[in-house]
Structure 1
Amino acid sequence: MQVEGLSINLATIREQCGFGQAVDLCLKHGITRIAPWREQVAKVGLAEAVRIVKSNGLKLTGLCRGGFFPAENEAGWQRNLDDNRRAIDEAAALGADCLVLVVGGLPGSSKDIGAARQMVSDGIAAVSPHAEAAGMPLAIEPLHPMYAADRACVNTLAHALDMCEQLGENVGVAIDVYHVWWDPDLANQIARAGQMKRIFAHHICDWLVPTKDMLTDRGMMGDGVIDLKGIRRMIEKAGFLGAQEVEIFSAENWWKRPADEVIATCVERYHSCCQA
């Protein structure tokens, strides 16, 4: 039976499965929405990935990821822009709802986070015409402040939405609960995102206490402290009724379990912990 409203980000079982295997497993559990990573697509080839998606009637809630705009020099800057244009083309070929942007942090030995944030804004502006021509929405994913230096210097939903206001209607946000649950202004900013019609994706997992690794110790829904139902209510009230996309990096737990068990648990926890 098809599971409505649930998407699996394929990073959740990336250590156990390749692209085709992961798709087969999702279909076995009634899941027809996925979000692959570009390296997973590259391993099978874009043409084969497109064939798998189309032949199985799959829908991509997003492609991960574009971004990482800041660079130390002009040559690096141009390489980053070119890579984002390729990512846009890949997302369009796969029929993704959006290209998720993990925007990048401080380049090289820089300590100028303001300059890095300007490069992010300038970079998105530079590739936006290509995205619009391809019909591909760009979703800025604000990351938890612990990633400000190395992964994303956009760290609050408010900051991401400020950028969206400057960059046009084709640029919105991916709201990942792992990164924003702590924000005291979250309710207001989700409402603002809804008014702007800029919620393009909703990612779910849980925040464990303690968290043993800031990148690869995300929790399965229900195992941590995030009010998943409460945040989903805010998001639905703001007008976004799209799928909830499970994205779990878990080097010492879920990546070590059988993939079938992981997906079955995602389905069970989606029903018990995540529906508003």
Structure 2
Amino acid sequence: MSKGQLSINLATTRGSWGFAEAVDGCLRHDITAIAPWRDQVEAIGLKEAARIVETNKLRVTGLCRGGMFPAADEAGRQTNIDDNKRAIDEAVALNADCLVLVVGGLPGSSKDIVDARKQVTDGIAAILPYARENNMKLAIEPLHPMYAADRVCVNTLSHALDICVELGQGVGVAIDVYHVWWDPQLAEQIARAGQMGAIYAHHICDWLVPTKDLLLDRGMMGDGVIDLPGIRAMIEAAGFHGPQEVEIFSQDNWWKKPGDEVLQTCMTRFKTVC
């Protein structure tokens, strides 16, 4: 079975490189698909980042990130909507496959997760016409429930797909194995996403046992407990054959290693364990 293309989310080499250095490193290893973060693009300038992408004929498998919709008041919600429209502009300039949405958690001191989820759906609905006008797909990334309070209150693939159904064309999902591998409904929901044509991105890494930091201790593929080939097979059976995007936050391990070593390891593991 073909494994498709490898993409590097530039969070993976954040410990060593900015945008331009990461692109140079990827090209040294014949990797031509990337997924940058907005702060990395801002640091070099959108115009220069877009030039680098175009000159090197790179595929941008996603721009990270839009989202963070909930806020304590209407002014805050409008500020977040405006920022997401800027994110759409940036994704368009980079010719990204999609804008990844890390949708946000409970705003301020709120304990009302039902309202936070409503604000997420309302926020996506508010930017969707602009995304459609600009032919930019919006990819909701459900995150592990441990992030429900502060980062993302959409925590299952099922919930994300329900939002896609409610909002319609142009909204899909980014399936990150780190966040969904544990879900008893995973196979069913990946198949559902495929039937909807809603799989826009596939992110890979591994879940370490023990995990020392729930945000910044992701594992390299093969170092943890996730059945990467099994999930890949589900996603490909559902019709998505795009790149697998390595996204590793690892402040005490991979971010301390030279970028070229990180990329070489990503390539080896992609070939041998994914």
**TM-score, length basis structure 1:** 0.98
Amino acid at match of 1:91: A
Matches within 5 A, 1:42-81: 42-81=42-81
Amino acid at match of 1:249: F
**In structure 2, distance between residues paired with 1:126 and 1:51:** 30
Give the drift of 1:4.
5.3
Give the drift of 1:175.
0.1
Amino acid at match of 1:204: I
Matches within 5 A, 1:71-220: 71-220=71-220
Q: Does 1:270 align with 2:270?
A: yes
**In structure 1, distance between residues paired with 2:189 and 2:77:** 31
Asked if 1 retains the 8 angstrom alpha-carbon contact of 2:59 and 2:96, the reply is: yes
Asked if 1 retains the 8 angstrom alpha-carbon contact of 2:4 and 2:242, the reply is: no
Q: Deviations over 1:174-193 (max 9, x none)?
A: 00000000000000000000
Q: Deviations over 1:137-174 (max 9, x none)?
A: 00000000000000000000000000000111200000
**In structure 2, distance between residues paired with 1:74 and 1:132:** 24
**Identity over the aligned pairs, expressed in percent?**
72
Q: Deviations over 1:73-125 (max 9, x none)?
A: 11111100000000000000100000000000000000000000000000000
What SS does structure 2 have at the residue aligned with 1:11?
A: coil
**In structure 2, distance between residues paired with 1:249 and 1:195:** 31
What SS does structure 1 have at the residue aligned with 2:220?
A: coil
| Corresponding residue for residue 10 of structure 1 | 10
Asked if 1 retains the 8 angstrom alpha-carbon contact of 2:4 and 2:241, the reply is: no
Give the drift of 1:203.
0.1
| Corresponding residue for residue 38 of structure 1 | 38
Q: Deviations over 1:228-249 (max 9, x none)?
A: 0000000000000000000000
**In structure 2, distance between residues paired with 1:262 and 1:70:** 35
**In structure 2, distance between residues paired with 1:226 and 1:94:** 31
Q: Which runs of 5+ in 2 are unaligned?
A: none
Q: Which runs of 5+ in 1 are unaligned?
A: none
Give the drift of 1:15.
1.8
Count of aligned positions:
272
| Corresponding residue for residue 248 of structure 1 | 248
**In structure 1, distance between residues paired with 2:133 and 2:193:** 24
**In structure 2, distance between residues paired with 1:226 and 1:112:** 32
What SS does structure 1 have at the residue aligned with 2:270?
A: helix
Asked if 1 retains the 8 angstrom alpha-carbon contact of 2:4 and 2:244, the reply is: no
Amino acid at match of 1:122: D
What SS does structure 1 have at the residue aligned with 2:87?
A: helix
**In structure 2, distance between residues paired with 1:159 and 1:45:** 35
Amino acid at match of 1:125: A
Asked if 1 retains the 8 angstrom alpha-carbon contact of 2:171 and 2:198, the reply is: yes
Q: CA RMSD in A?
A: 0.8
Asked if 1 retains the 8 angstrom alpha-carbon contact of 2:66 and 2:84, the reply is: yes
What SS does structure 2 have at the residue aligned with 1:13?
A: coil
Q: Deviations over 1:192-236 (max 9, x none)?
A: 000000000000000000000000000000000000000000000
What SS does structure 2 have at the residue aligned with 1:51?
A: helix
**In structure 1, distance between residues paired with 2:197 and 2:166:** 14
Amino acid at match of 1:229: P
**TM-score, length basis structure 2:** 0.99
Structure 1's consecutive aligned runs of 4 or more residues displaced over 4 angstroms after TM superposition are none
